[in-house]
């Protein structure tokens, strides 16, 4: 860049003036300035017309850009000579925000790259995109613009059809996007004005709402609003709501007959006490526990998993469809299963009083509750009892005698395993969840917090150990050369997010030590342990969880940091996770020798399954959010309690205590000027002196609800704040 003397108070030639403007904008690359602001900050004697000409010239050279408010900012595509800023072309996946911008998730990139709304360039949720990113070295989040769409995530959407005679439109509304898809008359497929339809996009045009063309492929029943909304969540997140005819036919042709030949290939566990513990509404029982005391005084605890791979064969229509779905999706009122009901609820469900095929890990436990040996292989079992979590908990609390000796002893082993796991570095990821009571129409009538009790933890602990054991076995198979496997991996947390969390916590006098992986685990567990008694820590805990890396599937084993396991896999839920089906197939082949899968192909599958898992999580969260907002749609004007969860420049986010729903209060409702703390931990009223802090319990009134935007508007009920800090 050409050097020039200090510009203050002087009239600059156009060449120097343009350099001064670039220098000004480079101080804050993401910020836009109006002409008057630029003129004021430059402090030169150049006229506004002269500065305006320089701006136009820079805009023509694609070094700066002007937005719709006539404000100027550095162009994301401008290749800087500044050593602190560089640009890169990267490929990643688009994660849209409710404000219209996006974050681009790039494999191998520590931080997601932010794309302002005006540079999203028609990308939709989950699309693979090519971006030009500004990679800043000053600790600021990288930003950029989307140059092109590499691959669309999905082409089918649910929306409302409108007939304009010569053409129609399907209007798609989700919390993250609005689409207008044009449909020609020969593509209506008998859709009438106002119908809820599934539309398949045939041409995405230049941008959404500008040239998108589609075809109506299915007409839905819109009379059931709840059904429509839940199906919309599924389809708009890329999941099919029905199975194809070939898949159904293939599943219906499967037999439940177990031949003597098949029994002879398996370890027969039918005479061993076996039971399942599952949610009350569950139908797909994919895991069971067995118990027997051996002659030498040790105990065998078996973890038995439905043998889905016996029925779902590689290359079959069932297999291809299961891989495409990759996971079951659990919405508030329904399950969108990975496998047809004949398999998930009948053939593979470990129902009581039926012989079932399973794949098992059987632990030998000494009298001091330590695991001293294990066996794994295919089995046949016969479940004696189906417990709900509530029924099992009654036994553990001494309120029922049924199998009390066995359950209490198994629970004591689980507690020992749990204690050891946390001692070795496992992190407590438990987070509060809610359960909805729905009426016949699917409308929520009450919301309660789910409680995780010993019955839940008992099952969880043995599933963790089974998953760990099979991963350890496969890792040992690689001692003489890698044997690719499906590992569940979890990397160290993002250091920048940990730094932000530590700084925020320090503002409340909470010291978090993130000097080593071990200290990170100790600090995060401290937040979890004390969260129930401390409102600030209860707010910091979800922030801590968000600072963690996302777990994923990979054939490259880097361990599972969050669990503190060097080797970990997913083996225990093949009815609802395709990763587990793959794990079963590879493990079985390697029980009697070394069989190496194609690592490249396996890694591609792992990557795809990880992406589908994220889609399912998004859909599940959307269904919860919808039901939370729907619950308050009939409670406008009511007063409830909440906790200030976050403070932004324009308002407060309040977590409502009874439902965990987020509501919003704009600062303008305070009717006085305020001062926001630099760390955004509190807001102070300049007239009243009142202080609102993160973690404060507040009384609020529901002022409005917007179901389409999934938004709850609040106002403070009074000036009284329960200030505990």
What pLDDT shows up at residue 85? 55
DSSP classification of residue 673: -
The answer to whether the beta carbons of residues 244 and 159 sit under 8 Å apart is no
Residue 332 CA neighbour count, 13 Å, CB half: 30
Helix (H) or strand (E) holding 468: helix 454-477
Of 380-384, 465-469, 617-621, minimum mean pLDDT range: 617-621
Tell which residue, 391, 330, 382, has the closest CA to residue 354: 382
What pLDDT shows up at residue 557? 95
Q: 574 pLDDT exceeds 90? A: yes
Q: 600 pLDDT exceeds 90? A: yes
Q: Residue 470 to residues 97, 361, 486, 675, 681: CA-CA distances in angstroms? A: 39, 8, 10, 56, 46
Question: Domains of the chain (ranges plus CATH)?
Answer: 14-74 (1.10.10.10), 85-151 (2.40.50.140), 156-223 (2.40.50.690), 458-629 (no CATH), 635-722 (2.40.50.140)
Phi, psi of 476 (to 5 degrees): -65, -30
Q: 139 pLDDT exceeds 80? A: no
Give tens-digit pLDDT for 69-79.
788 888 776 64
| Maximum Cα–Cα distance across the chain | 98
Residue 431 CA neighbour count, 13 Å, CB half: 11
For residue 665, list its beta bridge partners: 652
- Measured between alpha carbons, how far is 554 from 561 in angstroms, rounded to an integer? 14
Question: For residue 507, what are its two tokens?
Answer: 């503002």
pLDDT-above-70 percentage for the chain: 93
Q: 133 pLDDT exceeds 90? A: no
Neighbours of 633 (CB within 10 A): 15
Residue 141 CA neighbour count, 13 Å, CB half: 16
- Measured between alpha carbons, how far is 119 from 65 in angstroms, rounded to an integer? 11
Range 111-134 average pLDDT: 88
49-58, 197-206, 380-389 — which one is most confidently predicted on average? 380-389
pLDDT band at 171 (very low <50, low <70, confident <90, very high): very high
Range 607-611 average pLDDT: 94
Q: Helices (H), strands (E): how many in the chain?
A: 16, 34
Q: 32 pLDDT exceeds 80? A: yes
Q: Residue 295 to residues 255, 292, 298, 299, 300: CA-CA distances in angstroms? A: 38, 10, 7, 9, 11
Helix (H) or strand (E) holding 676: strand 674-676
What pLDDT shows up at residue 207? 63
Which residues have a Cβ under 8 Å from the Cβ of 277 and sit 6 or more positions away? Answer: 289, 387, 388, 389, 392, 455, 458, 459
- Measured between alpha carbons, how far is 177 from 180 in angstroms, rounded to an integer? 10
For CA atoms 347, 571, 465, 431, the dihedral sign is negative
Helices (H), ranges, 591-661: 599-633
- Which carries the bigger pLDDT value, residue 679 or residue 275? 275
Give tens-digit pLDDT for 506-550.
877 888 888 888 888 888 888 777 656 677 777 787 778 878 888
Give tens-digit pLDDT for 333-354.
999 999 999 999 999 999 999 9
What pLDDT shows up at residue 533? 63
For residue 553, list its beta bridge partners: 488
pLDDT band at 2 (very low <50, low <70, confident <90, very high): very low
Give tens-digit pLDDT for 244-264.
999 999 999 999 999 999 999
In the numeric block, the tokens 């037999």 are attached to 255
Of 87-101, 438-452, 493-507, 672-686, minimum mean pLDDT range: 493-507
- Mapped onto helix, strand or coil, the DSSP state of residue 259 is coil
For residue 456, list its beta bridge partners: none
Range 309-328 average pLDDT: 97
Phi, psi of 3 (to 5 degrees): -85, 150
The answer to whether the beta carbons of residues 657 and 628 sit under 8 Å apart is no
pLDDT-above-90 percentage for the chain: 60
The answer to whether the beta carbons of residues 281 and 333 sit under 8 Å apart is no
The answer to whether the beta carbons of residues 449 and 433 sit under 8 Å apart is yes
Question: For residue 428, what are its two tokens?
Answer: 């407590």
Phi, psi of 419 (to 5 degrees): -60, -45
- Mapped onto helix, strand or coil, the DSSP state of residue 431 is coil
Range 135-164 average pLDDT: 83
What pLDDT shows up at residue 4? 36
One DSSP character per residue, 66-80 reads E-TTSEEEE-TT---
- Measured between alpha carbons, how far is 242 from 713 in angstroms, rounded to an integer? 36
Range 385-398 average pLDDT: 96
pLDDT band at 209 (very low <50, low <70, confident <90, very high): low
Q: 318 pLDDT exceeds 50? A: yes
The answer to whether the beta carbons of residues 344 and 311 sit under 8 Å apart is no
- Measured between alpha carbons, how far is 580 from 352 in angstroms, rounded to an integer? 23
R_g of the chain computed on alpha carbons: 29
Contacts 24+ apart (CB under 8 A), 114-119: 114/30, 114/141, 114/142, 114/143, 114/144, 115/143, 115/144, 115/145, 115/146, 116/30, 116/143, 116/145, 118/67, 118/68, 119/76, 119/144, 119/145, 119/146
């Amino acid at each position: 860049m050409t050097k020039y003397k200090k510009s203050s108070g002087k009239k600059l030639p156009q060449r120097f003036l343009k350099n001064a403007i670039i220098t000004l904008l480079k101080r804050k690359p993401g910020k836009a300035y109006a002409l008057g602001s630029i003129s004021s900050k430059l402090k030169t004697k150049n006229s506004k017309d002269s500065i305006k000409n320089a701006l136009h010239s820079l805009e023509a050279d694609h070094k700066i850009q002007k937005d719709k408010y006539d404000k100027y900012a550095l162009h994301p595509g401008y290749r800087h000579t500044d050593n602190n800023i560089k640009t890169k072309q990267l490929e990643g996946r688009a994660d849209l925000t409710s404000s219209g911008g996006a974050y681009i998730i790039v494999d191998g990139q520590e931080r997601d790259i932010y794309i302002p709304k005006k540079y999203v360039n028609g990308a939709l949720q989950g699309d693979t995109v090519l971006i030009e990113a500004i990679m800043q070295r000053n600790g600021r989040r990288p930003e950029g613009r989307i140059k092109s769409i590499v691959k669309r995530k999905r082409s089918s959407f649910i929306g409302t059809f409108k007939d304009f005679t010569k053409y129609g439109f399907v209007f798609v509304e989700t919390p993250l996007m609005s689409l207008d898809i044009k449909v020609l008359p020969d593509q209506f497929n008998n859709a009438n004005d106002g119908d809820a339809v599934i539309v398949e996009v045939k041409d995405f045009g230049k941008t959404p709402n500008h040239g998108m063309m589609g075809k109506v492929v299915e007409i839905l029943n819109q009379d059931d609003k709840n059904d429509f909304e839940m199906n919309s969540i599924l389809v708009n997140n890329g999941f099919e709501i029905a199975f194809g005819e070939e898949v159904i036919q293939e599943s219906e042709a499967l037999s439940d007959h177990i031949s003597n030949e098949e029994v002879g290939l398996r370890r027969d566990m039918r005479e061993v006490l076996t039971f399942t513990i599952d949610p009350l509404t569950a139908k797909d029982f994919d895991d069971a526990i067995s118990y027997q005391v051996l002659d030498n005084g040790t105990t065998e605890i078996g973890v038995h998993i439905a043998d889905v791979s016996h029925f779902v064969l590689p290359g079959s229509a069932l297999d291809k469809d299961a891989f495409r779905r990759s996971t079951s999706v659990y919405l508030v009122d329904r399950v969108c299963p990975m496998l047809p009901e004949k398999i998930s609820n009948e053939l593979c469900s470990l129902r009581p009083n039926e012989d079932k095929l399973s794949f098992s890990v059987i632990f030998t436990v000494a009298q001091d509750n330590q695991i001293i040996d294990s066996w794994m292989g295919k089995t046949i079992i016969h479940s004696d009892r189906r417990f709900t979590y509530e029924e099992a908990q009654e036994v553990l609390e001494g309120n029922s005698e049924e199998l009390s000796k066995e359950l209490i002893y198994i629970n004591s082993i689980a507690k020992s395993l749990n204690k050891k796991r946390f001692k070795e570095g496992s992190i407590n990821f438990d987070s509060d969840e809610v359960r909805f009571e729905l009426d016949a129409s699917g409308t929520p009538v009450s919301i309660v917090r789910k409680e995780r009790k010993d019955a839940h933890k008992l099952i969880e602990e043995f599933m963790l150990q089974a998953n760990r054991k099979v991963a350890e076995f496969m890792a040992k198979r690689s001692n003489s050369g890698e044997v690719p496997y499906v590992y569940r991996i979890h990397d160290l947390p993002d250091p920048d997010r940990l730094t932000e969390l530590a700084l925020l916590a320090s503002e409340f006098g909470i010291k978090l030590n993130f000097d080593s992986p071990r200290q990170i685990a100790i600090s995060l567990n401290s937040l979890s342990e004390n969260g129930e008694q401390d409102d600030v820590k209860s707010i910091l805990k979800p922030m801590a969880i968000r600072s963690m890396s996302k777990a994923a599937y990979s054939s490259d084993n880097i361990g599972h940091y969050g669990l503190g396991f060097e080797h970990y896999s997913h083996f225990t839920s093949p009815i609802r996770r395709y990763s587990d089906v793959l794990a079963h197939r590879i493990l079985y082949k390697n029980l009697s020798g070394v069989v190496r899968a194609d690592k490249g192909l396996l890694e591609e599958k792992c990557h795809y399954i990880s992406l589908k898992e994220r889609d399912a999580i998004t859909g599940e969260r959307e269904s919860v959010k919808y039901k939370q907002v729907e619950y308050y749609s009939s409670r406008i004007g009511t007063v409830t309690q909440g906790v200030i969860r976050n403070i932004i420049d324009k308002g407060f986010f309040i977590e409502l205590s009874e439902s965990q729903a987020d509501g919003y209060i704009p600062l303008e409702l305070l009717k006085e000027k305020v001062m926001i703390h630099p760390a955004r931990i509190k807001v102070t009223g300049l007239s009243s002196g009142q202080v609102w802090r993160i973690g404060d319990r507040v009384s609020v009134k529901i002022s409005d609800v917007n179901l389409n935007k999934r938004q709850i508007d609040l106002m403070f009920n009074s000036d009284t704040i329960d200030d505990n800090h």
